[in-house]
């Protein structure tokens, strides 16, 4: 039965992607001169960061073209990393839309008469969503387009994940493959120009002593490791290694303050109150570019499966990622720290509802993470 299910999904995905090859009939050949490019890529921080290398290669291939990134983080209260693409100069313009309200942009896009469009499909996209998007893009007066595809089916997901060879790949690699582009050399894939920190932040980083970067946040509760685990990790690092640096958003700032308060109480009860290891809370005080620079100053990093973990791909800093079973293995591993990902053993992929989720992420103990971290400086 397992082999029948796997075979069914394999055939279904092949049929769906063959239908999406309608794009090659609608857009037959690229114009000889490419002056204006539009890239369609949705997502928050992790989605955009894993798409960054492919977007950067598009810029390198078309150095003189004007590139517009059309993107949506979802709702207005969610953060997008598209600003990094702009600050790094790999796109010239970013246009946002929210809550799936893209149709009001139709006339604006049509007037631009884009020469080339790259569709960077979402990892969880469905066939019918892709077909709908394909039909919508036919109305936008784009001369040439490539990229519509599906890689996941809603049927038999757990069974399909047992396919040999394993059917899923890292998001960075999937984005390159979907655009039929070669992955560049390791040193070039996440090339990033560090931005200058504010004077205050720069002065503080000079005081860092073998710092561990900690990011406690995650969008979904089921992806949030218990904060007591981060507290225990912070204690071990301060006792054995050096300083602690917290990064994240406004909510993460509250969590960091609570952990720091517990660290102060702990220090009072130990000999460490007389030592020089410190803690710093940068949550909700830095831009994404500045956060990347902070990570670069760290000796190591630990984070949930969230945006900050992917920001570490821009740096030499390795990140231990605490990853729930909400998605398939490999897909969301930070690109240069795949060997440092911790996942619970209970499920290969978990499809609990919000109400029924048992938060198996907490099967991972802080000792497991410390085994990964203690080998760093």
Domain residue ranges of the chain, discontinuous segments joined by +: 2-186, 206-373
Q: What is the pLDDT of residues 82-94, one digit of tens each?
A: 999 999 999 999 9
Question: The tokens 């993460």 sit on which residue?
Answer: 252
In angstroms, the CA 307 to CA 172 distance is 14
Tokens of 267: 């220090």
Tokens of 283: 């949550």
Residue 203 has pLDDT above 90, yes or no: no
In angstroms, the CA 262 to CA 260 distance is 5
Max CA distance (Å), the chain: 72
What φ, ψ does residue 23 adopt, rounded to 5°? -60, -30
pLDDT given at position 355:
63
In angstroms, the CA 335 to CA 110 distance is 36
Tokens of 99: 């809550």
pLDDT given at position 196:
77
Of 256, 314, 258, 318, which Cα lies nearest the Cα of 290? 314
In angstroms, the CA 2 to CA 375 distance is 41
Q: What is the pLDDT of residues 306-331, one digit of tens each?
A: 999 999 999 999 999 999 988 899 99
Q: Stretch 351-368: mean pLDDT, rounded?
A: 82
Report the predicted TM-score, pTM, of the whole model to 2 decimal places.
0.93
Residue 174 has pLDDT above 70, yes or no: yes
- Provide the pLDDT confidence category of residue 267 given band limits of 50, 70 and 90: confident
In the chain, the percentage of residues whose pLDDT exceeds 90 is 80
Question: What three-state secondary structure class fits 215?
Answer: strand
Tokens of 46: 């992790």
Residue 356 has pLDDT above 70, yes or no: no
Contact of 370 with 236, CB cutoff 8 Å: yes
Tokens of 350: 């978990």
Q: Stretch 146-169: mean pLDDT, rounded?
A: 92
Tokens of 2: 């397992």
Of 345, 249, 255, 346, which Cα lies nearest the Cα of 288? 249
CATH topology of domain 2-186: Rossmann fold (3.40.50)
Compute how many other C-beta atoms are within 10 angstroms of the C-beta atom of residue 122: 18
Residue 274 has pLDDT above 60, yes or no: no
H or E element in which residue 68 lies: strand 66-71
On average, the pLDDT of the chain sits at 93
Cα torsion 37, 47, 99, 23: sign: positive
Q: Do domains 2-186 and 206-373 have the same CATH topology?
A: yes
Which ranges of the chain would DSSP assign to H, the alpha helix?
Answer: 2-19, 22-26, 45-61, 82-87, 106-112, 127-137, 157-160, 171-178, 186-189, 199-205, 227-240, 250-268, 288-296, 307-311, 366-373
* Poorest-pLDDT segment among 106-110, 153-157, 178-182, 344-348: 344-348
Of 80, 66, 72, which Cα lies nearest the Cα of 38? 66
Domain 206-373 sits in CATH at 3.40.50.2000
């Amino acid at each position: 039965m397992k082999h029948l299910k796997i075979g069914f999904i394999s055939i279904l995905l092949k049929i769906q992607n063959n239908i999406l090859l309608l794009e090659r009939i609608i857009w037959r050949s690229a114009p000889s001169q490419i002056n204006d490019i539009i890239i369609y890529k949705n997502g928050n921080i992790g989605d955009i960061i894993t798409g960054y290398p492919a977007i950067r290669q598009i810029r390198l291939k078309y150095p003189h073209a004007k590139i517009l990134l059309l993107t949506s983080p979802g709702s207005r209260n969610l953060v997008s990393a598209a600003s990094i693409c702009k600050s790094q100069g790999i796109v010239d313009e970013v246009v946002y839309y929210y809550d799936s309200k893209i149709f009001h942009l139709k006339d604006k896009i049509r007037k631009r008469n884009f020469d080339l469009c790259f569709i960077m499909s979402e990892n969880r996209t469905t066939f019918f969503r892709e077909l709908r998007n394909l039909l919508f893009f036919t109305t936008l007066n784009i001369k040439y387009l490539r990229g519509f595809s599906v890689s996941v089916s809603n049927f038999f997901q757990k069974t399909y994940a047992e396919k040999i060879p394993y059917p899923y790949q890292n998001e960075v690699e999937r984005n390159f493959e979907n655009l039929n582009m070669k992955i560049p050399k390791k040193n070039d894939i996440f090339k990033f120009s560090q931005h200058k920190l504010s004077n205050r932040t720069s002065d503080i980083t000079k005081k860092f002593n073998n710092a561990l970067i900690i990011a406690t946040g995650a969008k979904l509760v089921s992806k949030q490791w218990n904060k007591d685990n981060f507290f225990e990790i912070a204690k071990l690092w301060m006792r054995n290694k050096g300083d602690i640096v917290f990064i994240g958003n406004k909510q993460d700032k509250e969590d960091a303050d609570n952990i720091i308060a517990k660290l102060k109480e702990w220090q009072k009860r130990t000999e460490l109150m007389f030592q020089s290891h410190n803690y710093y809370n940068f949550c909700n005080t830095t831009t994404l570019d500045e956060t990347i620079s902070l990570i670069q100053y760290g000796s190591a990093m630990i984070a949930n499966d969230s945006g900050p973990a992917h920001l570490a791909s821009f740096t030499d800093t390795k990140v231990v990622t605490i990853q729930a079973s909400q998605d398939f293995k490999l897909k969301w591993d930070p690109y240069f720290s795949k060997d440092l990902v911790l996942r619970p053993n209970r499920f290969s992929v978990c499809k609990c509802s919000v109400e029924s989720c048992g938060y198996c992420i907490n099967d991972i103990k802080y000792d497991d993470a410390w085994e990964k971290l203690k080998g760093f400086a």
